[in-house]
Amino acid sequence: MVRMSRNLNTDFAAAAAARDLRARLGPDRVLVRGPVYDQARRLWNGAVDHRPALIVRPGTPAGVQAAVLTARMHDLPISVRGGGHDWAGRAMRPGGLVIDLTGMRQVAVDAGARIANVGGGATAGEVIAAAVPHNLVAATATCGDVGLAGLTSVGGYSSLTGRFGLALDNLLGARVVLADGRLATADATHEPELFWAIRGGGGNFGVLTSLRVRLHPLHRLLAGFIVFPWVQAAAVWQRLAAVLADAPDELTVQSGIRAGTDGIPRMFLFPAWSGERARGEKTIEQLGRLGTPLLSHVVPRTYTQLLDLFEASVADGRHYTVRTRSLAAFTPDVVTALTEAAPAVTSHLSLVSIHHFHGAAARVPRDATAFGLRQKHFTVEIVAAWQPGDDDGARHRAWADSLSARLAPHALPGGYPGLLGPDDHDQVAHAYGPNDARLRAAKARYDPSRIFAATPGARWQDAA
């Protein structure tokens, strides 16, 4: 009876909110049911089937303000859809009001100032595509479909992390609709505490309607895959550890596991060199000599072309689950865990991608942004993937859980918030390190009623 009463109250609130917002924004911008609603609630992870009470599609910051104030008036929690690429489905809050920013995707490049002005719904690929014609690049993602605002607010590892830092290190400012409906400017001189919090603290402080992002001069970089047979994987990782121990900023190397369609796992390196070409070619040759590659195709590419290399690996609509660990080094125990997990992989669509954090990103003081881990490390992204209709989801998830558990004793505390899910309580508790208390205070200041709930499980999100 209590649950039925609560559901009825939510239904009445959602209906009233939809009526108010249709009157203010127009009927086509508010979705509560039907085919368009069903299409709008689909996310990258096809396993997510959340049903929000209503989806609002504002086209301006004023529309976002109206949505926030209406949600508050009717006591509806808010989530925000940018790129819709979060595996855990946090963009679609069940029973909540979703602010869908996909209609606010404008990107304007000021080539002289080396700045991109970016709408809150723009993807990383759209920003890169706008910058490349000017021989400029943004430090953002290895997947083009990820929303830039969401990526930047939690961190943003990329193939340029060593040279230019995380995506959040290149955020110059943002316009943010706060819980009280105010449209605030957050930068080094306006609302500096809010600016600090949105660089690493996620979307828990407001709706980022636009961003100003620093761009860097770069026409092409040397990038591509070097693939080794699995029998060489342990030796390659051990030798790679020595190479990366003193890697220059210009070199960032992803590594990982990918099973072929034949079910046989292979170990890959994905180096990206952003410096002087001749020196880079020598560095790539050194990486190739870590083993005997089955394939080596590292050539000059634009960043758009680099993003294209990963599209097939993260196709929309598949079912996914993700686990993550942060590692200080490729120790023998870590390498053993990786090499023993690969033959047990349950789907040829699954992969392990290990992100390389060093250089410029590691030199940023830990208290300069909310991002909690500034020492050199490797972030392991364990992605179990399977096709819709495959009834073996539990088996695929168990594989991801098993590898995560094997790595846990050798991992740094916490994990990358952008990859943590609602059940990763122990990792979330340590994800922000010594920045946790300050984030709690910022949450209490900017969203005391906790209307924004973008990062599941974050301890400081529930600060009173």
Same structural domain, 379 and 266:
yes
The 3-class SS string of the chain reads CHHHHHHHHHHHHHHHHHHHHHHHHCHHHEECCCHHHHHHCCCCCCCCCCCCCEEECCCCHHHHHHHHHHHHHCCCCEEEECCCCCCCCCCCCCCCEEEECCCCCCEEEECCCCEEEEECCCEHHHHHHHHHHHCEECCCCCCCCCEHHHHHHHCCCCCCHHHHCCHHHHEEEEEEECCCCCEEEEECCCCHHHHHHHCCCCCCCCEEEEEEEECEECCCEEEEEEEEEHHHHHHHHHHHHHHHCCCCCCEEEEEEEEECCCCCEEEEEEEEECCCHHHHHHHHHHHHCCCCCCEEEEEEECHHHHHHCCHHHHCCCCEEEEEEEEECCCCHHHHHHHHHHHHHCCCCCCEEEEEEECHHHHHCCCCCCCCCCCCCEEEEEEEEEECCCCCCHHHHHHHHHHHHHHHHHHCCCCCCHHHCCCCCHHHHCCCCHHHHHHHHHHHHHHCCCCCECCCCCCHHHHCC
Distance of CA 182 to the CA centre of its chain: 26
What's the average model confidence in pLDDT over 419-433? 91
Residue 377 lies in a domain: yes
Same structural domain, 227 and 318:
yes
Domain end position, chosen among 81, 100, 119:
100
Confidence of residue 4 (pLDDT cuts 50, 70, 90): very low
Please determine, for residue 463, whether its predicted confidence score (pLDDT) is greater than 60.
no
* CA–CA distance, 416 with 330 (Å, rounded to integer): 18
Residue 83 lies in a domain: yes
Judged by average pLDDT, the poorest of 67-71, 237-241, 437-441, 452-456 is 452-456
Q: What is the CATH number of the domain that holds 163?
A: 3.30.465.10
Q: Are 126 and 101 in contact (CB under 8 A)?
A: no
Same structural domain, 247 and 370:
yes
Same structural domain, 140 and 231:
no
Please determine, for residue 35, whether its predicted confidence score (pLDDT) is greater than 70.
yes
Residue 321 lies in a domain: yes
The per-residue pLDDT for range 78-119, each reduced to its tens digit, is 999 999 998 999 999 999 999 999 999 999 999 999 999 999
Same structural domain, 88 and 123:
no
The per-residue pLDDT for range 388-415, each reduced to its tens digit, is 998 889 999 999 999 999 999 999 999 9
What's the average model confidence in pLDDT over 323-330? 97
pLDDT of residue 155: 96
pLDDT of residue 6: 52
pLDDT of residue 7: 64
Same structural domain, 226 and 197:
no
Q: Is the dihedral of CA 104, 63, 32, 453 positive or negative?
A: positive
Residue 357 lies in a domain: yes
Please determine, for residue 462, whether its predicted confidence score (pLDDT) is greater than 50.
no
What is the token pair recorded at 115?
């700045």
pLDDT of residue 116: 98
Please determine, for residue 356, whether its predicted confidence score (pLDDT) is greater than 90.
yes
pLDDT of residue 301: 97
Q: Are 370 and 201 in contact (CB under 8 A)?
A: yes
Please determine, for residue 454, whether its predicted confidence score (pLDDT) is greater than 60.
no
Q: What is the CATH number of the domain that holds 46?
A: 3.30.43.10
pLDDT of residue 392: 85
Same structural domain, 194 and 236:
no
Domain extent, residue 114, equals 107-217+432-446
The per-residue pLDDT for range 39-78, each reduced to its tens digit, is 999 999 999 999 999 999 999 999 999 999 999 999 999 9
Confidence of residue 11 (pLDDT cuts 50, 70, 90): confident
Residue 456 lies in a domain: no
Same structural domain, 361 and 314:
yes
Q: How many residues does the chain have?
A: 464
What's the average model confidence in pLDDT over 213-239? 97
Domain end position, chosen among 82, 100, 118:
100
Same structural domain, 300 and 228:
yes
Same structural domain, 227 and 198:
no
pLDDT of residue 86: 84
Q: What percent of the chain has pLDDT over 70?
A: 96
What's the average model confidence in pLDDT over 342-357? 95
Residue 381 lies in a domain: yes
Residue 414 lies in a domain: yes
Residue 460 lies in a domain: no
Average pLDDT, whole number, for the chain?
Answer: 93
Please determine, for residue 32, whether its predicted confidence score (pLDDT) is greater than 90.
yes
Q: Are 87 and 112 in contact (CB under 8 A)?
A: no
Total number of domains constituting the chain: 3
pLDDT of residue 77: 93
Please determine, for residue 249, whether its predicted confidence score (pLDDT) is greater than 50.
yes
Same structural domain, 200 and 229:
no
Confidence of residue 455 (pLDDT cuts 50, 70, 90): very low
pLDDT of residue 203: 87
Task: Find, among 101, 87, 85, the residue nearest to 177 by Cα.
Answer: 101
Measured from the Cβ of residue 463, the count of other Cβ atoms closer than 10 Å reads 18
Q: What is the CATH number of the domain that holds 327?
A: 3.40.462.20
What's the average model confidence in pLDDT over 241-245? 96
Same structural domain, 148 and 19:
no
